[in-house]
Structure 1
Amino acid sequence: MSVKIPIVGVGPDGLAGLTARSRDHLTAAEVVFGSDAALRLLPELTAERVRIGSDLPEVVEKLKAGLGTKRMVVAAIGDPLFYGTARYLCDKVGVDLFEVVPHVSSMQLAFARLKETWEEAYLTDLSAKVLTDVVDKIRSAETVGLFTSDEYPPNRVARELLARGIDYFKAFVCENLGGKDERITQGELAEVQDLRFSPLNVMILRRKPNRPDSPRGVSRLGRFGNPDEVFAQSRPKTGLITQAEVRAVALAQMDLQPGDVAWDVGAGSGSVAIEMAQLVTPGVAYAIEQDSADFHLIVANAETFGVKNVKPVFGTAPAVFAGLPAPDAVFVGGNGGEVARLLEAAFAALRPGGRLVSNVGTLEMISATYAILKRLSPTVDVLLMNLARGVEQLESLRFEAVNPTVLLRVRKPG
């Protein structure tokens, strides 16, 4: 007897919607493992049923005990490897002992019904996640796909998001996809929070046009290295903020002291300038930005965090430098086209002993910036930063890479 255990994906129409191969696996099984939802879709089966609940180690032991003695099948909804238990079972029992036969995921069906791409959507399963752990990724996403759960049905998700000031998504709740009672409900989060839905649903959130994300509620702002999500960022630029870890190292390289004057050139949402201000008090951090939407975000972020010594400056660098007090430290972010003129003017404005740090992310800009700074100073410190952040998936800890970035620093002779 083969010890291969099929993991078969099932759709809302049960056996009727399966290929002949998938049906054969299920009808020939002596034991069928599956969640309550998956088993409900297969009422015709006469095999012994084993419920897959929250105690996954117990399921693993039962599968191991039946290897080679019983014909076993695991029934899963949709694609077993897409937020299903297949990965966990393969890891714990042995990947070579399984055969995965996927069905169309309900998430795929939901996006197809809305004629919406899901290539860059943030997708997650609330049966395996606590909403508070993913709300910041939802906050800054353009499109979100959620497998809801008994604990987090769509109406509760809507209430929780609204309670955090996240009111800029249009919601689509897709119920019983592929079944006779399929239904798609769309509306504002404020409308969805009062409705009830079938347990078999997928919730899709689509950001309204030109809406910035609201920052995460912060009870206390750290002096530096605060999470990216605490700063409101403009769309579609979210993700271009200087990452928290890079920001912390850059601020250390600038050697900021109380009473210093600091410039953040190309300030964006103002994350660097706000943290500069924390470190130079009672000095002043000037946030220089030429984009009007970002300029207003700097003002809003500084007000949200109660940082009084940030001075937003609206204008184009280096033209605005002439009206500002000479800095002790300058941070130049972004990958602008006039980098030579900008860096030269910033270096010239520095007080003796002042520090200039630039953050770049492309090979072309690394080369160009290094050449310019080398003309200005005999010593250029270059630091390549490769970061990966831990992400929990089921019971495993994995790492999600952050785009590499380079910090270049020069010091003006004093």
Structure 2
Amino acid sequence: MAKIVIVGVGDDGFDGLSESSRAVIREADWILGTTSALAAIGSAAGHARRVELDPDMTTALDQTRQALNEASRPVLVSQGDPLFYGIARFLCDRLGKERFEVIPHVSSMQLAFARLKESWEDAYLTSLAERPLEVVLERIRTAEKVGLFSSDRHPPAKVARALLDRGIDYFKASVCENLGSPDERITTAELADLVGLEFHPLNVMVLVRKPNRPDRRIPTRGMRLFGNPDEAFAQSLPKRELITQAEVRAIALALMDLRPESVVWDIGAGSGSVSIEAARLAPRGMVYAIEPEPTDLALIESNAEAFAVDNVRAIPGRAPEVLASLPTPDAIFVGGTGRQVESILREAWTRLAEGGRLVVNVATVDGLATAHTVLKQLAGGSVVEVRQVWIARGIDQLDRVRFEAANPTFVLSASKTGIIED
């Protein structure tokens, strides 16, 4: 059974390949690739049949099938690493991995980060040729570093303009053109300075967040009553990923069984996502957001203003000590317990009004065990509900969807009367 060897080629073309890769190309009887990839190898395989792959992926798949059926030594040349936003994964998924061998080249993304002397293991890497601009922009909002393959439709200047229009102005930008070729060029500037510039189509855009710059929230017009996207809330560094996820937040608020006049405690409020949505569900009540970190207290107030809620009070201090001065709550959410989970839950339960609901969100198995044991003791013989919430969100890749899983989390809930209402 014939196999196609997929060879990655850089901007330095045939001369930049290893000797083994050059030998594969010289011996090929069919050479497939995009116009630019075929141009990169020049006339190295002069006797081979050259097949320019069609931009339509279905047609390109048929061309590859034909090569597998008719060629003895078919080779497909692909720029950079064929398995990094390249064609290799698409072909392997549809024709079978056993029909291919892959010889990667250093990708332009790797070269871009190397030229800038930035690590890339913690970067958000994507291509605007594969994903909608709006989706990418909102993912950039909360990133530390970004590596972006731009596209003809969305060149760096347009991306910079779109970021600024959404208030995402806290990145230093670099555009790396023609990496590995004699006319390589790197431009590092503020996003605003990129707006009027033009770049070669072969470019990588790298964004690095400026030190200690918090996210800017997305506009709140038309936002939901609760379960808003995580990006709707300004969040602090380095704790951004600790926000109660939208799906978990929606479950927790439902379990709190809020009424329009409810008094709510949000213990360990962070940037205030639960507090603000609780305030919207209890517009005639009051929400007390307990948080010890001054930076987060400022974010709670900023987010409350952005969501136009005036019934959230940011309470500086640590639970359980600060709880004694607060009004009796009808519902309590505990989201930041640390090592004091037992003392916090006991004090919260003592202060909770009869018929009130207590909901706890913990992220570790140890925290789950402790919270469950304590709540069972406090609730007596009544039921303590426990849920594991494991969210995976779909991400478009080529013409398919893959799922990116968030860390699992646990939600516990109990009623002080011992009655759990569905």
If the TM-score is normalised by the length of the shorter chain, which range does it land in? over 0.9
Q: What does 1:210-359 align with in structure 2 at a 5 Å threshold? A: 210-359=212-361
Post-superposition shift, 1:218? 3.0
Post-superposition shift, 1:144? 0.5
In structure 2, how many angstroms separate the alpha carbons of the residues matched to 1:48 and 1:155?
A: 39
Is 1:381 paired with 2:405?
no
8 Å CA contact retained: 1:357, 1:407: yes
In structure 1, how many angstroms separate the alpha carbons of the residues matched to 2:91 and 2:234?
A: 40
8 Å CA contact retained: 2:131, 2:397: no
8 Å CA contact retained: 1:265, 1:330: yes
In structure 2, how many angstroms separate the alpha carbons of the residues matched to 1:346 and 1:335?
A: 12
Structure 1 residue runs without a partner (length 5+): none
Cα deviation digits, residues 343-399 of structure 1 (max 9, x gap): 111111111111111100112111221222222112322112222222221111222
In structure 1, how many angstroms separate the alpha carbons of the residues matched to 2:30 and 2:375?
A: 69
Is 1:82 paired with 2:58?
no
In structure 2, how many angstroms separate the alpha carbons of the residues matched to 1:297 and 1:48?
A: 63
1:399 aligned partner: 403
2:94 aligned partner: 92
Post-superposition shift, 1:323? 2.7
Deviates more, 1:36-45 or 1:144-153: 36-45
Post-superposition shift, 1:300? 1.0
8 Å CA contact retained: 2:14, 2:42: no
Post-superposition shift, 1:42? 2.0
Using the size of structure 2 for normalisation, the TM-score is: 0.94
In structure 1, how many angstroms separate the alpha carbons of the residues matched to 2:345 and 2:391?
A: 26
Deviates more, 1:202-211 or 1:298-307: 298-307
2:62 aligned partner: 61
Post-superposition shift, 1:53? 4.5
Is 1:408 paired with 2:412?
yes
1:41 aligned partner: 40
Deviates more, 1:63-72 or 1:173-182: 63-72
In structure 2, how many angstroms separate the alpha carbons of the residues matched to 1:128 and 1:231?
A: 27
Is 1:18 paired with 2:17?
yes
Deviates more, 1:9-18 or 1:225-234: 225-234
In structure 2, how many angstroms separate the alpha carbons of the residues matched to 1:48 and 1:233?
A: 56
Cα deviation digits, residues 127-182 of structure 1 (max 9, x gap): 11221111111010001001111112211111111111111000111111111112
Q: What does 1:109-128 align with in structure 2 at a 5 Å threshold? A: 109-128=111-130
Deviates more, 1:115-124 or 1:303-312: 303-312
1:200 aligned partner: 202
Residue identity opposite 2:161 in structure 1: R
8 Å CA contact retained: 1:335, 1:361: no
**RMSD between superposed Cα atoms in Å:** 1.6
Post-superposition shift, 1:52? 3.2
In structure 2, how many angstroms separate the alpha carbons of the residues matched to 1:40 and 1:313?
A: 65
Post-superposition shift, 1:110? 1.1
8 Å CA contact retained: 2:81, 2:105: yes
Cα deviation digits, residues 107-126 of structure 1 (max 9, x gap): 11111112211111100011
In structure 1, how many angstroms separate the alpha carbons of the residues matched to 2:297 and 2:53?
A: 52
2:186 aligned partner: 184
Post-superposition shift, 1:248? 0.9
Deviates more, 1:220-229 or 1:39-48: 39-48
SS in 2 for 1:67: helix
**Change in CA separation of 1:52 and 1:323 when aligned onto 2, cut-off 3 Å:** farther
**Change in CA separation of 1:129 and 1:36 when aligned onto 2, cut-off 3 Å:** farther
SS in 1 for 2:373: helix
Identical counterparts, % of pairs? 54
Residue identity opposite 1:340 in structure 2: E
In structure 1, how many angstroms separate the alpha carbons of the residues matched to 2:59 and 2:279?
A: 54
SS in 1 for 2:323: helix
In structure 1, how many angstroms separate the alpha carbons of the residues matched to 2:347 and 2:272?
A: 21
2:150 aligned partner: 148
In structure 2, how many angstroms separate the alpha carbons of the residues matched to 1:66 and 1:368?
A: 61
SS in 1 for 2:60: helix
Post-superposition shift, 1:21? 2.0
Using the size of structure 1 for normalisation, the TM-score is: 0.96
In structure 1, how many angstroms separate the alpha carbons of the residues matched to 2:50 and 2:336?
A: 58
SS in 2 for 1:287: strand
In structure 1, how many angstroms separate the alpha carbons of the residues matched to 2:284 and 2:53?
A: 60
1:7 aligned partner: 6
In structure 1, how many angstroms separate the alpha carbons of the residues matched to 2:213 and 2:134?
A: 22
In structure 2, how many angstroms separate the alpha carbons of the residues matched to 1:63 and 1:36?
A: 15
Structure 2 residue runs without a partner (length 5+): none
Cα deviation digits, residues 189-225 of structure 1 (max 9, x gap): 1112222222211111000011001112232121111
Post-superposition shift, 1:59? 0.8
Residue identity opposite 2:248 in structure 1: V
In structure 2, how many angstroms separate the alpha carbons of the residues matched to 1:399 and 1:316?
A: 37
In structure 1, how many angstroms separate the alpha carbons of the residues matched to 2:125 and 2:356?
A: 46
SS in 2 for 1:330: strand
SS in 1 for 2:41: coil
Post-superposition shift, 1:19? 1.3
Q: When the two structures are aligned, how many residues end up with a matched partner? A: 413
8 Å CA contact retained: 2:359, 2:414: yes
Cα deviation digits, residues 51-79 of structure 1 (max 9, x gap): 33530100111121232322432111111
Residue identity opposite 1:68 in structure 2: N
